[in-house]
Structure 1
C-alpha cells in the first residue's frame, strides 16, 4: 500500500483523497480530505482534518503526504477513497496488514488549490458555461458580470458541498434529484451541469415551484439548452407525490414548506438532503420557557431563538431517522441572513441506540419549550 501511495503523490496525479470510517468512536478526527495545493511556486498537499466542531489544515510535501496517509490508515481509518487522473482507487483496510484494493476508471477532473487556499471553482470563470450565459451571469466569452459575481461564487459554493458527498451515490444508476421551491433555478441548473456535463452521470432532475411564470421560463431555458433530463413542474411541496428520490434540495422554502420537503425526503429514504430553511415562524407563538421568558419578551430575540430551535429540532428528527446531520454556513443567492444549511446524509449503519437518543433529545426539547412543530408529522 505504501508503494501505491508514493506513486500517486510522487507522480502528481492526485485529485482528491478521502480517509473515512474511523477505527475508534473516541478518536477526535472523524474524516480527512487531502488535495493538491500550490504554495508559492511549488506543489504541496493539504490535509483537511474534520473534527466534530471544527476543521484544521496541514500542508505537506509529496513524501510526507504518502507517509501521513499510510500512518493514518494503520492507526485511525479503515477506508481510503483515492481519486486520481488515472484511476479511482478504494482501499478497505479493516486489517491494515492485508488491505483490499480495487480500481476503476477515473471519475473526477483535476482541481488544485491556490496558495491562499482558494479552491479552483468547479465552474471556472473565463470558460463559457451555457446555463450561466443563458441566465445572465456571464457573457459569451465566459466573463462573469461584476454585479453577478457573488451569485457565481455562491453557485460554486453549493456545488462544492455537493461534490464533498457525491461518492455516496451508485455511479451505475440514474440519479434522481428534486429541488423543492426551485425559484429562478440557478442551483437546479447548476446541479444538472455538475452531474451531467462535468461528471457524465445519468440524472433525472425536477424543479418544483408555485409560480407558473417561473416554471414556464425555466422549462424554456432547459429546452433551449437541450437539458433533456431536467424539467420544471408547478406544484406545492406539501402535496407533492413521487415514488422516490436519491437527493432532495430545498433552499429557502418558507416556514413549514421546509418540513414537508424533509418529510418527503425521509419517506423516500433519500441518501442526501440539502436544506436552507427560511422564515421559521411556526413556533414563534408556541415557544415558552420560564427561565428564558425575560429574554424572549423581546420580539427580535425571540424571532432569532425560534429560528435556531426550529432547525435544531429538524436536525434531531433527521438523526432519529438514520441520518448524519451537520449544519453548514451557506450564503444564499438572495443575499439574506438565512444562511444555515442542514446537510443530512443517510447512514444505513447508524445504530438504533443513536437514533433513539436523538428522538429522546427531540422530545425533551419539545417539552422544555412547549412546542408542537410541523416536523412531528414525520413518523
Structure 2
C-alpha cells in the first residue's frame, strides 16, 4: 500500500482537476467506477465532487481539498487497479498489476479547458416557467412577486410546479398539437390548473378546452370568477364526483392531483373509458390496500404499521401502472418532487400506445399474483374486469 500512497502523493503534488478510478479486481464491486471532479461555487470557493457509479445509479458526495488525499487512498484500497488523472499541466495514469506492482505514467499537457468544464457547478436550470414571465396565478399563489421574481421562501414550490409542467411538456413536444381537451379531476383551489392553462395557451400556443372538476360549490364558484378575471375564456369549472362524472366529447388529457384513495382509481378508469391520449396522476392517501393487506407468505411486511402503510401505497401504484399498461398505455411511475419535501412524490404518466399482447398479459399476471399473495381486492382491477377492459 505504500507504493500506492507514494503514487497518490505524487499525483496530488500538482492540483487535481479530474480523476476516474476504475477496473476493480472484484467484478461484483458495488461501484463500477468513481469520478473526482474539481468544482467551483458561485462565490469562487473550490471543492471536489465525488461521483460513485453503480450499474444503474450515480451517487454524489462533496469534499474539501484537505480530504482529497485520504479519499483517493480509500478508493484505491477498495480494489481498483487503474486511475486516470488530469492535473494542472500533467496527465497521470496509475495502474496496479495483479501482483500489486504500481506503475505510474506521466504526460505534460495543457488541461485548462478540462478545468473550465469541470468547475461548472449547479449550472442554472432552464425552467419552462421562467422568472420575469407575467404569470398571474403564480403571483396570486405568492410564488412570484408582482414583477415576476421568485419569492425566496417559495422556491421549492416554484421548482415543484415546473417539475410537473416538465413532465407534461415531455409528451406535448413529441407532437404538434393544435388543440386539446383537458379534464382536471379534483382541481381544488386550482392554481396549478390556471398555471397549466397559461402553459398551454401562452407558451405552447395550443387551443385548449379545459375543465376543472371538484365537489365543493364555493370552490367552483370562486375558480370560475378567477378564470374570468384572468381572461381564460376556455377554462371552466364544474361541480361533480369523479366516480359518476359523464363527459360525451373526446378527451385528450386527464389530470388528477392528490385525488384521495380510490378517487384516483375512478379517475383513471374514466380516462381509459374515454380513450384518453394522456394521463397524469399524482395519487394520494392510498388506504384501500393497507386495510385489506393479509400476506400469505410475507407476513414480515405487515408486522410494523408504518412499513405496511408504505408498502401498501407502493403496491397500489404498481398495480395501477400495470393495469394501465394492460389497457394499452405506455406507463411510467416518476418522481414528482423530492421525497424530502413530501412522501406523496410519485406521478403516474400514461400515454396511449401500442402494447403487445404478451406485455399486457404479463402485467395482468403480475397484478393477480400480488392480489393472491396479499388478499387484495383493488378498485381499479374490479372496474377494469367488470367493464371488460382487461
Q: TM-score range by the shorter chain?
A: 0.5 to 0.7
Task: Indicate conservation of the 8 Å contact 1:332/1:338, yes or no.
Answer: no
Give deviations 1:274-317, integer Å, cap 9, x for gaps: 11111100111211223321331211111111101111111110
Task: Indicate conservation of the 8 Å contact 1:326/1:342, yes or no.
Answer: yes
Cα distance in structure 2, aligned partners of 1:370 and 1:321? 23
SS in 1 for 2:225: helix
Task: Indicate conservation of the 8 Å contact 2:254/2:280, yes or no.
Answer: yes
Task: Indicate conservation of the 8 Å contact 2:288/2:378, yes or no.
Answer: yes
Q: Sort the Cα spacing of 1:298 and 1:334 in 2 relative to 1 into closer, same or farther, 3 A.
A: closer
Counterpart for residue 321 of structure 1: 327
- Measured after TM superposition, the shift of residue 116 of structure 1 is 2.9
State yes or no: 1:144 paired with 2:156.
no
Counterpart for residue 163 of structure 1: 169
Give deviations 1:224-252, integer Å, cap 9, x for gaps: 01000111111111111112311111110
State yes or no: 1:259 paired with 2:265.
yes
Counterpart for residue 187 of structure 1: 192
Give deviations 1:321-355, integer Å, cap 9, x for gaps: 111111111129995311111111110x2222221
Question: Of 308, 313, 333, which aligns to 1:307?
Answer: 313
Cα distance in structure 2, aligned partners of 1:219 and 1:179? 14
State yes or no: 1:126 paired with 2:145.
no
SS in 2 for 1:283: helix
Q: Sort the Cα spacing of 1:53 and 1:252 in 2 relative to 1 into closer, same or farther, 3 A.
A: farther
Task: Indicate conservation of the 8 Å contact 2:181/2:210, yes or no.
Answer: yes
Counterpart for residue 359 of structure 2: 354
TM-score (normalised: structure 2): 0.65
Larger radius of gyration: 2
Task: Indicate conservation of the 8 Å contact 1:250/1:261, yes or no.
Answer: yes
Task: Indicate conservation of the 8 Å contact 2:252/2:277, yes or no.
Answer: yes
Task: Indicate conservation of the 8 Å contact 1:330/1:341, yes or no.
Answer: yes
Q: CA RMSD in A?
A: 2.5
Give deviations 1:41-63, integer Å, cap 9, x for gaps: xxxxxxxxxxx97699xxxxxxx
226-235 or 131-140: which moved more? Answer: 131-140
**4+ residue segments displaced more than 4 Å:** 52-56, 332-335
Question: Of 260, 270, 278, which aligns to 1:272?
Answer: 278
Counterpart for residue 330 of structure 1: 336
Task: Indicate conservation of the 8 Å contact 1:134/1:221, yes or no.
Answer: no
Task: Indicate conservation of the 8 Å contact 2:278/2:351, yes or no.
Answer: yes
Cα distance in structure 1, aligned partners of 2:148 and 2:139? 8
Cα distance in structure 2, aligned partners of 1:300 and 1:218? 37
SS in 2 for 1:309: helix
Question: Of 192, 195, 213, which aligns to 2:218?
Answer: 213
State yes or no: 1:200 paired with 2:205.
yes
- Measured after TM superposition, the shift of residue 166 of structure 1 is 0.4
Task: Indicate conservation of the 8 Å contact 1:259/1:375, yes or no.
Answer: yes
Task: Indicate conservation of the 8 Å contact 2:282/2:348, yes or no.
Answer: yes
- Across the two proteins, how many residue pairs are aligned to each other? 270
State yes or no: 1:224 paired with 2:226.
no
Cα distance in structure 2, aligned partners of 1:122 and 1:364? 42
Task: Indicate conservation of the 8 Å contact 2:243/2:263, yes or no.
Answer: yes
SS in 2 for 1:284: helix
Counterpart for residue 20 of structure 1: none
Cα distance in structure 2, aligned partners of 1:333 and 1:175? 32
SS in 2 for 1:141: coil
Cα distance in structure 2, aligned partners of 1:136 and 1:222? 17
- Measured after TM superposition, the shift of residue 132 of structure 1 is 1.7
Q: Sort the Cα spacing of 1:132 and 1:332 in 2 relative to 1 into closer, same or farther, 3 A.
A: farther
Cα distance in structure 1, aligned partners of 2:213 and 2:379? 21
Cα distance in structure 2, aligned partners of 1:230 and 1:334? 33
